[in-house]
Amino acid sequence: MRVHVRLKGSIMEQVSVNLSHGGTQSVFTHQSEATGTPMTFSAFVPAHERGARLPVIWYLSGLTCSHANVTEKGEFRRLCAQLGLIFIAPDTSPRGDGVADDDAYDFGKGAGFYVDATQEPWRRHYQMRRYIENELPDLVAGHLPVDMDRQGITGHSMGGHGALTIALRNPGRFRSVSAFSPIVSPIHCPWGEKALGGYLGADRDAWRTYDACALIEDGARLPDLLVDQGEADNFLESQLKTHLLTELCEKVGQPANIRMQPGYDHSYYFISTFVDDHLRWHAERLGKSAR
């Protein structure tokens, strides 16, 4: 069943809804002002008393992914239902026939890198920073029973990069921040150099606002941080470079629990293994314990 909700001048369409662990798992689409395209996100809302406002976890996905990857593979709903956490998973880029794309998997559609592009032909639609930081939270706050004073953010790989940089750029917004195998310094890896150079141009100083390590070097801080990284991840040495974040946090005194997990790779088998740890960690900081 499709449900249309008019909200702040736009229409948000609920394209699917399923009962799960007593709550509802929905998928919504809406026309985005930021990207100029339809955008899709999923939302799990646990059972709750009428009028209650619940803490929310924003989950940002990685390269080639959409909202569907974590929604179908993340295994988060059982504990979110117990902890009373809303779980929101947006797409990773604008999509559609008129949206610029690239043949490679690590640039263009599915690879928005959570930046606001300034270069042609990308800047017309690739405004993912503005979408994630401003438009989507306003939309969700106007429709779902979220407590915007209790927000946490997490993500995987490119989405881990997005979660870290968004939290670092918005001090005080998120009570809790975590990441699974994040790209910790896009300035220093091939994925990041390609994406930031393509979307933002050649001025590397303009890249620093999209690099977690650079933001910390420039003085940004988080109240705390949890990171899990698989030691068998084939992207660890060339792209993710977790040691850069570990060394920097130790150097500047940024509180962080960065855990290297032997034998685990980059897949959702890894994420689903440790997602309960992350959800409990977020819930503690958001002021909600298991029922």
Catalytic residues: 157, 233, 266
Determine the Cα–Cα distance for residues 281 and 263; give it in Å rounded to an integer: 23
CA dihedral 252, 149, 90, 191 (to 10 degrees): -10
DSSP code of residue 284: H
Stated as kind and residue range, the H or E segment containing 14 is strand 10-20
Paired tokens of 149: 């004073």
Determine the Cα–Cα distance for residues 174 and 147; give it in Å rounded to an integer: 12
Determine the Cα–Cα distance for residues 95 and 108; give it in Å rounded to an integer: 9
Q: What is the separation of C-alpha 34 from the centre of its chain, rounded to a whole number of angstroms?
A: 17
Q: Which positions ≥6 away from 123 have C-beta within 8 Å? A: 116, 117, 199
β-strands 176-180, 146-155 pairing: parallel
Residue type, 208: R
Determine the Cα–Cα distance for residues 154 and 162; give it in Å rounded to an integer: 8
